[in-house]
Amino acid sequence: MSLPTPTPRNRAVITGASSGIGAALAERLAARGYSLILVARREDRLRELATRLSGSHRVEAEVHACDLGDRDARAKLAGELAARDIAVLCNNAGFATYGPLSTLDPERERLQVELDVVAVHELTLAVLPGMLERKAGAILITGSTAGNQPGPNNTTYAASKAFANTFAESLHTELAGTGVGCTLLAPGPVRTEFAQVAEVSSVDRLVPGPLWVTAEEAAKQAVAGLAKGKRRVVPGPFAKAQTLGGQYSPRWISAAVLRAVYRRLT
């Protein structure tokens, strides 16, 4: 599998495109000649990005202001995408919460599952039949090293990203030989607005500066991985160490360590 050839008809879809990794993915794909469908809640940010990318890379950039946590809005978007020629789908939107589960806002926890899990599932189901019929397509799913092991005090997010990680890697193998590929992007700490959205300002202090990866570097490695048909992309040495720790450490040890770490964030 390789990335489909960009055409005037097909599109690359990026969710969570208003900032961070999503905006960087849009930049990378536009530079490769893909016209875009940019999806996020903040329409003003999307329009600024669309104007900049369409001007600098001479591609079309459509804006879809959509709250993917809203079931009705998500269903409408999924229906539209199912009817179009989608070359690339980047399931990137998501957020995290920190703290003991019983103390967190139940509605925000539900919204987190809707966005981090259900939206990824539904948008993939929407575009996959068309990709298989055309024998061409690439799907990127932004998971996390947080999904490699239990994450006490980060429970919903860790479970959500465990779904994303396993879903992406399972689909990767399932699609072998079809012309359609699926790649997992599993980053560790990335310099984005993620901590601000999670309402956790101490993330910056907890992880030393040299261990952070920029959104641009994560997107660069993700798109290169898509082009090569890779199963998993893990940007940065810290994320690679986290991945090894999550895979090979006894889960009771990793759970105890992360319980202590995430307690410092709340």
- What pLDDT score was predicted for residue 70? 96
Please tell me whether residue 42 adopts helix, strand or coil conformation.
coil
Q: What is the pLDDT along the chain (266 residues), one digit of tens a residue?
A: 579 999 999 999 999 999 999 999 999 999 999 999 999 999 999 999 999 999 999 999 999 999 999 999 999 999 999 999 999 999 999 999 999 999 999 999 999 999 999 999 999 999 999 999 999 999 999 999 999 999 999 999 999 999 999 999 999 999 999 999 999 999 987 877 665 555 555 656 666 666 779 999 999 999 999 999 999 999 988 788 778 777 777 777 777 777 776 776 66
Architecture of domain 11-264: 3-Layer(aba) Sandwich (3.40)
Measured CA distances, 166 to 89, 110, 226, 255 (Å) = 17, 20, 17, 19
The token pair that represents 118 in the structure block? 């259900």
Whole-structure pTM value: 0.89
Which candidate in 34, 98, 157, 262 is catalytic?
157
Domain ranges for the chain: 11-264
- Does the annotation mark 262 as catalytic? no
